Amino acid sequence: MPGSESEAHLRLKTLALNWARERKFTVFAPEVRLPNSNYRADLVAYRPGKKRLESVKVVETRQTRNRRTHQIGETAVFECKQARSDFLKDSQAAEKTRKELNLLLDRRKTLDRLLKVHYPDLARSDSLFPEFQTFDLERSQNPSYLKVLKRIQLLQNRLYEKNKFEKMIRYGCGHLFYLVVEEGILSESEVPLHWGLLVRKGSDLDLLIPPTHQNIPESTGLELLHRVAQSSSKIWIRNRIIET
């Protein structure tokens, strides 16, 4: 676990692990990198699937026998937030951000057109045809233009880098997703779509919002289980439980 992890954050992860164990999630590990993304989850747990009966034909005896096999089970992803600021940095309103970004892009087009008229000397010598000529308008140092550019960059970073919760769902990183938080740091209306909400009440977690089960390919479930096993093994090695 990261050396900079606070006691409050570690407590939430421990409570999440115990909560998962009580619900028959028997395989788990912290700090697991999720499939289909660059995100690392605070905790991932796995609950084995139900056994199913299938018929197998034995070649030697030409008889059919029944055997029980395991189905791929469920994976649960837990993200722990000890403070409101911790939640907000990973949760941005994507639709609102897109709308503002579109308005700013239109504003930039208008400023581009006006500044080209007022600063013809900023034209680059990159085309013989005026209609294809580009301008280095940042050199104008126009305050309004620079402010718009800065805001566009901020919103693009927010939209494409920090919509963590939305992207985990969209990328199909697991079956179930839970936010594990301290009491009072967010309202139920702020919980990302399809996520469940677990709130600490003393030494227990209270499930206020159940998650929506996500249908993901069996291969993704197996990949996530593989990564849980890898992360768990690294912990054993790091703690020198296994000699290397």
Range of the domain at 215: 7-91+164-238
Residue 32 placed within a domain? yes
Same domain assignment for residues 104 and 193: no
Q: Is there a single domain that holds both residue 23 and residue 126?
A: no
Angle between helices 143-161 and 94-118 in degrees, nearest 10: 150
Across the range 195-219, mean pLDDT stands at 93
Would 1 be classed as within a structural domain? no
Residue 37: both structure tokens together: 């993304």
Residue at 22 is within a domain: yes
What is the model's pLDDT at position 1?
46
Does the model's pTM come out above 0.95? no
3-state secondary structure of 230: helix
Domain end (from 134, 161, 188): 161
> Is residue 244 situated within a structural domain?
no
46 neighbors 28 (Cβ within 8 angstroms): yes
More confident residue, 5 or 93: 5
Question: What is the structure's pLDDT at 115?
Answer: 86
Task: Judge whether 123 and 133 are in contact, CB under 8 Å.
Answer: yes
Check residue 124 and give its pLDDT: 66
User: Is 243 within the bounds of a domain?
Assistant: no
Residues 69 and 53 in one domain: yes
Residues 215-232 have a mean pLDDT of: 91
Which tokens go with 181? 């938080």
What average pLDDT does range 146-166 have in this prediction? 79
More confident residue, 1 or 20: 20
25 and 83 fall within a common domain: yes
The answer to whether the beta carbons of residues 56 and 49 sit under 8 Å apart is: no
Domain boundary among 143, 161, 179: 161
Both tokens of 47, joined, read 């609950």
Which of 107, 132, 161 represents a domain boundary (last residue)?
A: 161
- Do 32 and 133 have their domain in common? no
Name the phi and psi angles at 215, rounded to 5. -85, 115
Task: Report which of residues 55 and 237 the model is more confident about.
Answer: 237
> Is residue 132 a part of any domain in this protein?
yes
Residues 169 and 87 reside in one and the same domain:
yes
132 vs 46, more confident: 46
Cβ pair 78, 103 in contact under 8 A: no
Residue 131: both structure tokens together: 């209609």
Q: Is the same domain home to 82 and 109?
A: no
Beta bridge partners of 178: 78, 196
- Asked if 74 and 85 sit in the same domain, the reply is yes
Q: Verify that 41 and 138 share a domain, yes or no.
A: no
Question: Where are any strands of DSSP class E within the chain?
Answer: 27-33, 40-47, 51-58, 63-70, 74-81, 176-181, 196-201, 204-209
User: 170 and 54, same structural domain?
Assistant: yes
Three-point CA angle 137, 138, 139, nearest 5°: 85
**Residue 169 domain flag:** yes
Give the chain's mean pLDDT: 83
What is the total count of domains within the chain? 2
Residues in the chain: 244
Examine residue 122 and state whether it is found in any structural domain, yes or no: yes
Judge whether residue 125 has pLDDT over 70. no
Q: Which amino acid is at 22?
A: E
Contact 215, 173 (CB under 8 A): no
**Confidence bin at 34 (pLDDT 50/70/90):** very high
Question: 22 with 78, same domain?
Answer: yes
Q: What value, to the nearest 5°, has the Cα angle with vertex 50 and ends 60 and 76?
A: 135
**Each residue of 82-119: pLDDT tens digit?**
998 888 777 666 678 878 888 998 998 899 888 888 88
User: Nearest-CA neighbor of 41 among 90, 74, 95, 94?
Assistant: 90
Q: How far is CA 53 from the centre of its chain?
A: 36
The pair phi, psi for residue 43, each rounded to 5°, is: -155, 140
On whether both 81 and 109 belong to a single domain, the answer is no
